[in-house]
């Protein structure tokens, strides 16, 4: 299986799993999701709460001065009356008076069996004060079965209307209410519960705005206070197929989850709202302007009263401030919500994120891939952070993060596994084709060297002259194979030593190329150097073969004809080819194809025609930087090609050396080639008689360099003198391969 296909299946699998999870229960992931949202809150920082909301705090100072809790109800009445006198707009009690005040004089006398008619009753005082002040009392629901039966239901002055309620409702259904005593409950204008339901980790991140008890919907203290502040009679609950969609107070829509919970957009840690000590209110040490028209919550921050919660900002957070946050969210519309379309965005995020990871896994650089992964994670988290606090929309963050990171980790593991297999495969392909140094470069390369691609190379073809006669002389196949191995081994080593790649052995022929699969600087020169070294090495190789008794028959045959045992012709061409792994699905090889390859093969076969040892094209000659002795051979069109090419012969290096491939001195060779190239220029200009005279003169010498080429041009000049051509362009057309 290819790497890309494996990545594709991985992306599909992970996306399917994560999308399925996003549409089902997320209980396992929710603690992680909550922690991410907590970190986003801390990254946002604290925001000062609404100055119109204040908290009258039954703090340690108040308890030290006014006595331990619970206080006598006349003290609470004094607090409420003073707040009303200060002009408080509305007062919400985060306190429940579930039992009668036993410290009341009337209760004391009654308990002692003494006359108590007309004696002060603190509960009646508090009830009377609640009647005269803008106080909304609080109560609490017992969420679990505590085996205590409830005999009464809560009281709310508002009307709750449900619209499109499905058969199954996910609203929280408590076991029983824990209400205020009858006198207080009956005196109050309205009431609301002040439950806070923590998540599984103990943190409070939402508050239930409505609960259903015995088939009746009841509002929270914050929602009821918001209704009264907005001067609305009705609270409307809107459902969709999944559960509660939102709550409406007139034109104000409050987004909730299906359970009727408001995700609280906390302003900050404890103290985001102004706290005023209950003692200061009790003793009237506050300026009226600090209370007038304000929304007041009466609650406690004292540790001993156990009304402390854990929130994203603070592990010790007064419950009363949770309700202050919830009320501000409702009134200002800055609450957090997850609308129905956000689930669709979550799915799209998973798919798009997985697609980007798929692209990232295509990159060859592991470090670059990791940096892009970090960038993608950062963008995702920042986008969710931005929408959460700029638009109040909550998206699921953990599932896309799990999706993209798991795809990346597993994908890199696949890359690593397939890379090991790829390297073993490459080793198998190139072990006998290239040098160990080149093999190391191939394995270290980040590119897929086996993948077919265009590349400029210099192609090499060599062929043993008279191989048929050699085969017939040896007769024994085993001797023939040993003979060829003796020849092939040094020739192959020379190719590999100069940075070339051996493509294949075709009988007695060798095909090789330079500049693939890895870069080879000056690849044309390297190919020429390898070719000349092979030609020079034949002298010693032939001597070795003559001295070997096993090949005596071949040695006698060659000596009789005055030729070396092994003589070769080489063709070189440079150009763009297609290089890569080619073949069938079950059997393939790393090779090169293209017109440039075909031309290299033609040049080698034309060595016989021109009686040359090393033919190169003008394309190779243009790329050469070394100093060589060149002979122009011809301007031709080879079989299968219409564009003419120049064929050049390289005699040897242009330098003084022990011996040249042809047994002549450098001075003699340079002189001969100067006359020859003068004749070639005359030939190209259709001065056939003048060219013929020079070709004939050189041919008459005791020529050891290339007698055949002079005979070719003498024959052509004589032909064109006898039959002058029209529009002569010097191009000769080869109609056969050799």
Three-state SS at 229: helix
Percent of the residues in the chain that have a pLDDT greater than 70, as a whole number: 92
- Could you give the C-alpha distances from 22 to 25, 346, 349, in angstroms and in order? 7, 8, 11
CA 452, 490, 575: angle at the middle one, nearest 5?
Answer: 30
Tokens of 413: 């593991």
From CA 541, how far away is CA 567, in angstroms rounded? 10
What pLDDT was estimated at residue 110?
81
CA 270, 273, 277: angle at the middle one, nearest 5?
Answer: 85
pLDDT single digits (tens) 92-131: 999 999 999 988 888 888 888 787 787 889 999 999 999 9
What pLDDT was estimated at residue 154?
93
My answer on whether omega of the bond before 145 falls inside 30° of 0, hence cis, is no
Considering only residues 562 and 40, tell me which one the structure prediction assigns the higher pLDDT: 40
> Which element (helix H / strand E) includes 568?
strand 568-583
Return mean pLDDT, the chain: 87
User: For residues 602 and 639, is the Cβ–Cβ distance under 8 A?
Assistant: yes
Look up the CATH number of domain 431-626. 3.30.70.1230
Query: Per-residue pLDDT averaged across 154-160, rounded?
Result: 90
> Which element (helix H / strand E) includes 226?
helix 221-229
Whether the pLDDT of residue 425 is over 70: the answer is: no
Q: Which residue has the tokens 């900050």?
A: 268
pTM for the model stands at 0.61
User: For residues 564 and 613, is the Cβ–Cβ distance under 8 A?
Assistant: no
Whether the pLDDT of residue 436 is over 70: the answer is: no
pLDDT single digits (tens) 76-103: 999 999 999 999 999 999 999 999 998 8
Considering only residues 151 and 42, tell me which one the structure prediction assigns the higher pLDDT: 42
From CA 378, how far away is CA 375, in angstroms rounded? 5
Whether the pLDDT of residue 1 is over 60: the answer is: no
User: For residues 301 and 270, is the Cβ–Cβ distance under 8 A?
Assistant: yes
Whether the pLDDT of residue 445 is over 60: the answer is: no
Fold classification of 633-642+655-738 is Methane Monooxygenase Hydroxylase; Chain G, domain 1 (1.20.58)
pLDDT single digits (tens) 508-561: 899 999 998 888 999 999 999 999 999 999 988 988 888 888 887 777 776 655
pLDDT band, residue 673 (cuts 50/70/90)? very high
User: For residues 222 and 209, is the Cβ–Cβ distance under 8 A?
Assistant: yes
From CA 146, how far away is CA 68, in angstroms rounded? 27
Task: Locate the domains of the chain by residue range.
Answer: 3-25+339-426, 47-332, 431-626, 633-642+655-738
pLDDT band, residue 298 (cuts 50/70/90)? very high
From CA 528, how far away is CA 320, in angstroms rounded? 90
What pLDDT was estimated at residue 26?
65
From CA 360, how far away is CA 364, in angstroms rounded? 9
From CA 269, how far away is CA 273, in angstroms rounded? 10
pLDDT band, residue 729 (cuts 50/70/90)? confident
Whether the pLDDT of residue 378 is over 70: the answer is: yes
Considering only residues 307 and 720, tell me which one the structure prediction assigns the higher pLDDT: 720
What pLDDT was estimated at residue 708?
87
What pLDDT was estimated at residue 435?
46
Whether the pLDDT of residue 345 is over 50: the answer is: yes
564 phi, psi to nearest 5 deg: -70, 160
pLDDT band, residue 437 (cuts 50/70/90)? very low
Query: Per-residue pLDDT averaged across 121-145, rounded?
Result: 94
CA atoms within 13 A on the CB side of 27: 2
Whether the pLDDT of residue 149 is over 70: the answer is: yes
What would you measure as the largest C-alpha separation in the chain, in angstroms? 160
CA atoms within 13 A on the CB side of 704: 9
Whether the pLDDT of residue 389 is over 50: the answer is: yes
Q: Which residue has the tokens 């202050």?
A: 324
Query: Per-residue pLDDT averaged across 571-594, rounded?
Result: 80
pLDDT single digits (tens) 20-33: 887 765 677 888 88
> Which element (helix H / strand E) includes 303?
none
What pLDDT was estimated at residue 19?
84
Number of other CB atoms surrounding residue 337 within 10 Å: 18
Number of other CB atoms surrounding residue 643 within 10 Å: 8
């Amino acid at each position: 299986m290819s790497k890309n296909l494996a990545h594709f299946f991985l992306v599909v699998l992970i996306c399917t799993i994560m999308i399925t999870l996003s549409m089902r229960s997320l209980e396992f992931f929710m603690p992680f999701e909550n922690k991410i949202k907590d970190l986003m809150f801390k990254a946002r920082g604290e925001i000062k709460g609404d100055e119109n909301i204040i908290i009258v705090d039954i703090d340690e100072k108040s308890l030290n001065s006014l006595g331990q809790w619970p206080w006598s109800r006349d003290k609470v009445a004094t607090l409420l009356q003073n707040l009303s006198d200060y002009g408080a707009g509305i007062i919400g009690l985060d306190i429940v008076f579930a039992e009668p005040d036993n410290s009341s004089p009337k209760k004391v006398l009654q308990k002692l069996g003494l006359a108590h008619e007309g004696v002060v009753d603190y509960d009646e005082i508090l009830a009377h004060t609640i009647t005269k002040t803008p106080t909304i009392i609080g109560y609490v629901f017992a969420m679990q079965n505590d085996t205590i039966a409830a005999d009464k239901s809560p009281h709310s002055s508002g009307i709750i209307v449900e619209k499109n309620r499905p058969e199954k409702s996910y609203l929280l259904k408590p076991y029983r209410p824990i209400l205020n005593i009858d006198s207080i409950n009956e005196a109050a204008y309205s009431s609301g519960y002040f439950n806070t339901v923590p998540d599984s980790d103990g943190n409070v991140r939402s508050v239930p705005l409505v609960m259903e008890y015995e088939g009746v919907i009841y509002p929270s203290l914050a929602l009821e206070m918001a209704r009264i502040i907005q001067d609305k009679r009705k609270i409307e609950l809107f459902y969709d197929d999944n559960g509660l969609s939102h709550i409406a107070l007139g034109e104000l829509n409050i987004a909730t989850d299906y359970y009727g919970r408001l995700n609280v957009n906390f302003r900050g840690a404890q103290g985001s709202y102004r706290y005023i000590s209950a003692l200061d209110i009790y003793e009237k040490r506050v300026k009226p302007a600090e209370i007038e028209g304000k929304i007041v919550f009466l609650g406690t921050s004292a540790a001993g009263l156990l009304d402390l919660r854990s929130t994203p900002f603070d592990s010790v957070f007064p419950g009363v401030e949770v309700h202050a946050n919830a009320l501000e969210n409702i009134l200002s519309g800055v609450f957090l919500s997850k609308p129905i379309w956000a689930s669709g965005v979550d799915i799209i995020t998973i798919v798009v994120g997985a697609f980007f990871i798929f692209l990232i896994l295509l990159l060859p650089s592991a470090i670059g891939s990791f940096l892009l992964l970090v960038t993608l994670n950062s963008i995702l988290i920042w986008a969710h952070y931005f929408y959460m606090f700029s638009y109040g929309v909550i998206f699921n963050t953990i599932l896309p993060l799990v999706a993209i990171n798991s795809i990346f980790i597993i994908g890199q593991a696949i890359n690593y596994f397939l890379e090991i297999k790829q390297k073993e495969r490459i080793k198998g392909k190139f072990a006998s084709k290239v040098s160990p140094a080149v093999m190391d470069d191939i394995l270290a390369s980040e590119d897929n060297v086996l993948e077919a691609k265009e590349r400029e190379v210099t192609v090499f073809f060599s062929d043993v002259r008279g191989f048929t006669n050699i085969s017939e002389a040896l007769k024994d196949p085993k001797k023939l194979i040993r003979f060829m191995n003796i020849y092939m081994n040094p020739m192959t080593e020379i190719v590999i030593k100069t940075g070339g790649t051996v493509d294949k052995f075709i009988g007695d022929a060798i095909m090789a190329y330079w500049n693939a699969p890895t870069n080879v600087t000056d690849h044309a020169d390297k190919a020429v150097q390898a070719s000349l070294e092979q030609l020079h090495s034949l002298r010693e190789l032939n001597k070795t073969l003559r001295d070997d008794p096993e090949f005596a028959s071949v040695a006698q045959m060659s000596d009789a004809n005055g030729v070396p045992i092994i003589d070769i012709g080489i063709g070189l061409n440079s150009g763009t080819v297609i290089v890569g792994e080619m073949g069938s699905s079950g059997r393939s090889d790393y090779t090169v194809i293209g017109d440039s390859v075909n031309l290299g093969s033609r040049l080698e076969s034309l060595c016989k025609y021109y009686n040359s040892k090393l033919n190169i094209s003008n394309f190779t000659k243009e790329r050469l930087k070394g100093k060589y002795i060149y002979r122009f051979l011809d301007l031709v069109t080879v079989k299968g090609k219409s564009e003419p090419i120049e064929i050049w012969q390289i005699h040897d290096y242009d330098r003084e050396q022990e011996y040249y491939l042809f047994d002549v001195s450098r001075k003699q060779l340079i002189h001969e080639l100067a006359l020859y190239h003068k004749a070639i220029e005359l030939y190209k200009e259709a001065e056939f008689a003048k060219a013929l005279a020079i070709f004939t003169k050189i041919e008459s010498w005791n020529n050891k360099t290339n007698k055949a080429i002079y005979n070719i041009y003498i024959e052509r000049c004589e032909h064109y003198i006898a039959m002058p051509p029209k529009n002569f362009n010097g191009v000769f057309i080869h109609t056969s391969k050799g």
